[in-house]
Amino acid sequence: MTTHMTLRVNGSDHDITVAPDTLLLDALRYECGLTGAKLGCGTGDCGACTVTVDGEAVNSCLVYALECEGHAVETVEGATAGGIGALVAEEFVKADAVQCGFCSPGIIMSTCALLARTEPGAATDEDIKEALAGNLCRCTGYLPILEAVRRASGAPR
Amino acid sequence: MSEPDVGSYRRPDNLAEALTMLDRRPASVLAGGTDLVVLRADGTVDRAHDIVDIKGLSELRGISRDADGTLTIGAATTLRELARTTVVPPNAITDGAALVGGWQTRVRGTIGGNICRASPAGDTLPGILAAHAQLELASTTGTRLVPAHAFFTGPGRTVREPNELLTRVIVPASRGASAYLRFTYRRAMDLAVVGVAVHLEIENGRCVAARVALGAAAATPVPAPEAADALVGTELDEPSVAAAAQLVLNTATPIDDGRGSRAHRRTVLPVLAKRAIGIALERAREGHPR
Ligand SMILES: Cc1cc2nc3c(=O)[nH]c(=O)nc-3n(C[C@H](O)[C@H](O)[C@H](O)COP(=O)(O)OP(=O)(O)OC[C@H]3O[C@@H](n4cnc5c(N)ncnc54)[C@H](O)[C@@H]3O)c2cc1C
Ligand code: FES
Ligand code: FES
């Protein structure tokens, strides 16, 4: 049993077909062709699937696509196309905060949500850790990530 | 190839419509989905049930305090909203909300979901017990109030009927202060090995009322009345607090599982209780009303 819906992602409307329990993550990847958000655990534990819905970071593996009808979804593809997201991505590269890269789209989305709710330079290390606690990275040891977020936070916007 | 039966997704426009949906067909309430999506995927919750998404209902959202000091928390209030509310000072319930999962979990997850999930380790549950909160359940036939301590009947089980919606958490006014602490191996993204909530009321330096509740120490969150009673009448000096904290073990019946052994839980509980009493006391002295 499937239904049609309009999913607004990165500012564009996608007319897609979903089941009642199609995950936002799967709708993004298989219906919209946006493969930035990754399936890590599927249980909300790793954060690799993080996207924003109305500006808030959420685990797209725990959200049904139909819950997002009428809301604005942003993925790493949209967020890093320009503006603060592009700056965040640049700082991640400069700080060597990306190794295998599997966690990066999710971490960048959590970072974008953090920067959207804090003034330039205002995010403390505690704020950054709180914002990123739900994003696991198995490669970097987190210090380069922390550094990249600090720099992005401090940059003028 | 036949697909397994999957219920439909429904988004009611108002509370009355939500209650009708819950009454008409087998349905699961969807709030933040941080528990339900996983429970449906692993088969714990029947996928054939309709999904009734209540997160947008304004009747179920928000935190307010009325003139006599009664605090009302809408069931669909997110844990994030609750963790950062300025309507009340930090207390055991808001402490619990702030500890759940990670940022993504709290932005989406709700207090109603935490309560109705009824995990013995649920982080807002000891707080609502210690606050003597009442839970308002609504159905098409009316509403009823259930005291928090009578709501939970086992791991994942409550007195809520399938057609009932938890609408509000009602916290009676009090002059006291409270705190919740949990023990985990990681600071975030971990479930309580054990948790303790403490509510204290103080007059002229003496404890005049106390309530203690434990999480992950039994099949449901449980009050620890002996520990609480031992605090009353004392000046909450170190020996009195230490002696009372030890008494939480009279109520605790923790299990051995992957998160910790029974012995470990029994070792940690009194220490945690002592610290939680300390924080509640500090807050009471700072004159936090509630
Ligand atoms: C990564 C991760 C970490 C977590 N960490 C913690 C933690 O540290 N501590 C903790 O306590 N929990 C934790 N949880 C569990 C979960 O996030 C919380 O229990 C949360 O409060 C659930 O709220 P929700 O709105 O998402 O509930 P949902 O998933 O929407 O619902 C949960 C259950 O309650 C029912 N329900 C929801 N609202 C109502 C209502 N108003 N009336 C009737 N029934 C209702 C649903 O049908 C379902 O059975 C974690 C979850 C994840 C994914
Ligand atoms: S895939 Fe969603 S949190 Fe891991
Ligand atoms: S770079 Fe490999 S998981 Fe983070």
Nearest-neighbour CA in chain A from B81: distance (Å):
12
CB-based contact (8 Å) between A56 and chain B?
A: yes
Q: What is the pLDDT of residue B3?
A: 57
CB-based contact (8 Å) between B28 and chain A?
A: no
Contact A67 B41 (CB under 8 A): no
**Burial (0-12, 13-18, 19+ Cβ within 10 Å), B228:** buried
Q: What is the pLDDT of residue B1?
A: 45
Rg (CA), chain A: 15
- Report percent pLDDT > 70 for chain B: 98
**HEC string for chain B:** CCCCCCCCEECCCCHHHHHHHHHHCCEEEECCCCCHHHHHHCCCCCCCCEEEECCCCHHHCCEEECCCCCEEEECCCEHHHHHCCCCCCCCHHHHHHHHCCCHHHHHHCEHHHHHHHCCCCCCCHHHHHHCCCEEEEEECCEEEEEEHHHCEEECCEECCCCCCEEEEEEECCCCCEEEEEEECCCCCCCCCCEEEEEEEEEECCEEEEEEEEEECCCCCCEECHHHHHHHCCCCCCHHHHHHHHHHHHHCCCCCCECCECHHHHHHHHHHHHHHHHHHHHHHHHCCCCC
CB-based contact (8 Å) between B239 and chain A?
A: no
Residues of chain A with pLDDT under 70: none
Q: What is the pLDDT of residue B287?
A: 74
| Helices and strands in chain B: count of H runs, count of E runs | 10, 14
Rounded Cα gap, residues B148 and B159, in angstroms:
10
pLDDT grade for B290, boundaries at 50, 70 and 90: very low
pLDDT grade for B250, boundaries at 50, 70 and 90: very high
CB-based contact (8 Å) between A45 and chain B?
A: yes
Contact A44 B47 (CB under 8 A): no
Q: Which atom of ligand 1 is nearest to the CA of B76?
A: 41
For residues B268 and B217, the answer to whether their CB atoms sit within 8 Å is no
pLDDT grade for B286, boundaries at 50, 70 and 90: confident
Q: Does B288 score more than 70 pLDDT? A: no
Minimal-distance CA residue to ligand 3 atom 4: A137
Contact residues, B window 77-106, toward A, CB-based 8 Å cutoff: 101-105
Contacts A61 to B, Cβ<8 Å: 37
Query: Phi-psi bin for A121: left (phi > 0), alpha (psi -120 to 50), beta?
Result: left
Contact residues, A window 99-138, toward B, CB-based 8 Å cutoff: 110, 113, 130-135
Contact B9 A66 (CB under 8 A): yes
SS3 of residue B27 by DSSP: strand
Contact A133 B108 (CB under 8 A): no
- Convert the pLDDT of each residue in B65-122 to its tens digit: 999 999 999 999 999 999 999 999 999 999 999 999 999 999 999 999 999 999 999 9
Contact A64 B41 (CB under 8 A): no
CA of B222 to the centre of ligand 1 (A): 19
Contact A67 B37 (CB under 8 A): no
Please tell me which of the candidates B6, B34, B47 has its beta carbon nearest to residue A62: B34
Instruction: Please give the angle made by the CA atoms of A30, A34 and A38, to the nearest 5 degrees.
Output: 85
Contact residues, B window 115-134, toward A, CB-based 8 Å cutoff: none
Rounded Cα gap, residues B231 and B244, in angstroms:
6
For residues B115 and B104, the answer to whether their CB atoms sit within 8 Å is no
Rounded Cα gap, residues B198 and B126, in angstroms:
8
Q: What is the mean pLDDT of chain B?
A: 96
For residues B194 and B264, the answer to whether their CB atoms sit within 8 Å is no
Quick one: which ligand is closest to A50's CA?
2
Among B5, B79, B103, B117, the strongest candidate for a mutation testing the A interface, having the largest count of A CBs within 10 A, is B103
Please state, in angstroms and as integers, the Cα–Cα distance from residue B238 to each residue in A16, B119, B245, following that order.
64, 33, 10
State how beta strands A3-9 and A72-74 pair: parallel
CA of A2 to the centre of ligand 3 (A): 35
- Convert the pLDDT of each residue in A69-96 to its tens digit: 999 999 999 999 999 999 999 999 999 9
For residues B254 and B262, the answer to whether their CB atoms sit within 8 Å is yes
Minimal-distance CA residue to ligand 2 atom 3: A44
Minimal-distance CA residue to ligand 1 atom 40: B166
Q: Does B217 score more than 90 pLDDT? A: yes
Single out the residue of B159, B157, B156, B155 nearest to residue B146, CA to CA.
B159
Rounded Cα gap, residues A103 and A105, in angstroms:
6
